[in-house]
Amino acid sequence: MATHGLAEKISSKQAIIGVIGLGYVGLPLIQAFVRGGFRTMGFDVDQTKVDKLNAGQSYIKHIDSTAIAQLIKEKKFEPTADMGRLKEADCIIICVPTPLNESRDPDLSYIEGTAHSIAKTLRPGQLVVLESTTHPTTTRENVLPVLNATGLTAGKDYFLAFSPEREDPGNPNFEASTIPKVVGGYDPVSGDLACAMYSQAVVKVVRVSSMEIAEAAKILENTYRAVNIAMVNELKMLYDKMGIDVWEVIDAAKTKPFGFQAFYPGPGLGGHCIPIDPFYLTWLARKWGEQTRFIELAGEINTHMPNYVITQLAEFLNSAGKPIKNSKICILGAAYKKDVDDPRESPSFELMKLLLKRGAALSYNDPHVPSLPKMRHYPDLPAMNSQELTPDFLATQDCVLISTDHSAYDYAYIVKYSRMVLDTRNATKNVNEGREKIFKA
């Protein structure tokens, strides 16, 4: 079947790759395709982001500004907020957010809005690939009808596929180009073209038989992690009551060379995938008249963890004759995991909300997040800047709560100058002096 010349453009690297959504997924993908020899365009509705990129400035910690500036200078990457220019791209990759709404149902408004933007300029010979994590059937039911409404036909005039993003910000061992890419096409030709495109930029392409298989694989990956984290969180709460150190238990168990993978407890789930994706699956199950009790229970346990941490904090402060109300509490870490500047779904924000509700005098420090960003689900959090961890500042705090275990922190220093330290990440395990000040939560 004819591909309107797209197959030849991809093989000769003359195809222009357009990426919609220039965040933690989109920018690394741009870099991968440029390294693969393609010219790229980046689309984002946030004009501030576009302006920064055009000025050679990166707003993501692990993406170097110098590298962005070089791509702009060499005209290998052109950021724009003008969605009317989507017609210039031969391959369009969608990397927009897929959050949950207030009732924890999937919010597909970003995907659907993007599909309508593409439809306005869709032309024969374009390939559209959705990468945003979502539930199975989204590409077929929410993107395909919008694009077909243009009068063009998928698999004949234009081509459609799904390939889930697989990013791990801050992981030095993996980046967009070195992580295998799962690809499912609307039809064989769409699958051929999507595989041909990605094979030019990533180490390995794993083709599956349909878009739904690819969508379901991503949900499985993240639900697997959510369920196992829930298990160790539940064990942690039990072992705390028994006086057993769950961290030592996990260290012992992971010495088994087969049949066990270590997962670790924490103050709650964070990031753009694990706290959200399982709820997409439970919503889909209800739609089909089924129950996913195992997954829902895991969600309940993980969602409860910030409350558990606050309860532990209350007991810790009570041992010193203090209530949470009016106590000075400094949270260490606003990012959702160590050594990144990504605050999405970080449990630290839930901890802040709960502490403010109880009347704590709240502050925070994060070497990667200098100011608290506005968060969709936490509109009432006050504006705050990261506080410098001087000896005098630490000494004035009633308790320092370690929420994110950044490598930049000197934990021995923090314990030395703090009155009390609540450690939710086992970050102080190698601190020998002042252990009487530490309480693991």
Which residues are tagged catalytic? 273
Please, are residues 186 and 159 in contact by the beta-carbon 8 Å criterion?
yes
CA distance 35 to 39: 10
DSSP letter for 40, please. Answer: E
Give the β-pairing of 159-162 and 399-402.
unpaired
- Residue 225 CB-half CA count within 13 A: 15
Cβ neighbours of 249 (radius 10 Å): 14
Calculate the CA dihedral of residues 185, 187, 193, 197 and round it to 10 degrees.
0
CA distance 209 to 187: 9
Please, are residues 48 and 85 in contact by the beta-carbon 8 Å criterion?
no
Please, are residues 327 and 360 in contact by the beta-carbon 8 Å criterion?
yes
In one letter, which amino acid is 296? E
Please, are residues 363 and 387 in contact by the beta-carbon 8 Å criterion?
yes
Please, are residues 77 and 55 in contact by the beta-carbon 8 Å criterion?
no
CA distance 137 to 215: 8
CA distance 184 to 217: 10
The candidate with the shortest Cα–Cα distance to 162, out of 88, 86, 87, 93, is: 93
Hey, CA dihedral for 392, 397, 400, 401, is it positive or negative? negative
